[in-house]
């Protein structure tokens, strides 16, 4: 967090690529996020991890050097729920923000416990016994 005038100083100190998906991305709101992007662009500093929607925030950015190309993808594992960028849905526009790390929770259990879960699952109403994948049972969204 600093004044926009710090952009040229960052470039002079050798910064040429930065990750923007952090838990501080929206400390100064969406306008602060946009201003940061503008200052980085004006100073030729490649940046990734924040944008006007999820597609922009998640996009890889590239730095071309004499020795080759460097790619940057940036995401945050710690953030407030409203910081996550989202793509548009129908007529609703995308939401500006950061590229949030998305995880799926899995629980590994011994085979005998898995069989118990399978019997419970198969005994529930409106379920089809004998799933195709014998190594997985879905209970309340957890695989």
pLDDT tens-digit series, residues 42-82: 999 999 999 999 999 999 999 999 999 999 999 999 999 89
Segment holding 65, helix H or strand E: strand 61-65
Range 65-70, long-range pairs (CB < 8 A, 24+ positions): 70/17
| DSSP state at residue 76 | B
The token duo for 15 is 């910064």
What pLDDT, on the 0 to 100 scale, is given for residue 134? Answer: 64
User: Pseudo-torsion of CA 123, 126, 131, 133, nearest 10°?
Assistant: -110
How many C-beta atoms lie closer than 10 Å to residue 53's C-beta?
16
What pLDDT, on the 0 to 100 scale, is given for residue 129? Answer: 63
What is the model's pTM? Answer: 0.71
Q: CA-CA distance, 48 to 66, in Å (whole number)?
A: 21
What pLDDT, on the 0 to 100 scale, is given for residue 88? Answer: 93
- With tokens 């069989």, the residue in question is 115
Give the residues of the chain that fall short of pLDDT 50: 142-143
What pLDDT, on the 0 to 100 scale, is given for residue 143? Answer: 44
Q: CA-CA distance, 2 to 11, in Å (whole number)?
A: 15
Residue 56 near residue 88 (C-beta atoms within 8 A): no
């Amino acid at each position: 967090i600093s004044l926009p005038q710090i952009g040229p100083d960052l470039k002079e100190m050798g910064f040429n690529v930065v990750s923007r998906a952090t838990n501080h991305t929206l400390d100064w709101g969406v306008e602060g996020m946009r201003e940061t992007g503008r200052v980085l662009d004006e100073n030729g500093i490649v940046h990734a991890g924040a944008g006007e929607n999820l597609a922009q925030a998640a996009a890889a950015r590239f730095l071309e050097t004499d020795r080759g190309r460097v790619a940057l993808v940036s995401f945050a594992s710690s953030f407030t729920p409203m910081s996550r960028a989202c793509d548009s849905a129908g007529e609703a526009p995308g939401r500006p923000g950061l590229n949030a790390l998305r995880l799926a929770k899995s629980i590994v259990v011994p085979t005998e416990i898995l069989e118990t879960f399978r019997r419970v699952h198969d005994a529930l109403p409106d379920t089809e016994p004998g799933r195709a994948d014998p190594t997985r049972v879905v209970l309340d969204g957890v695989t």
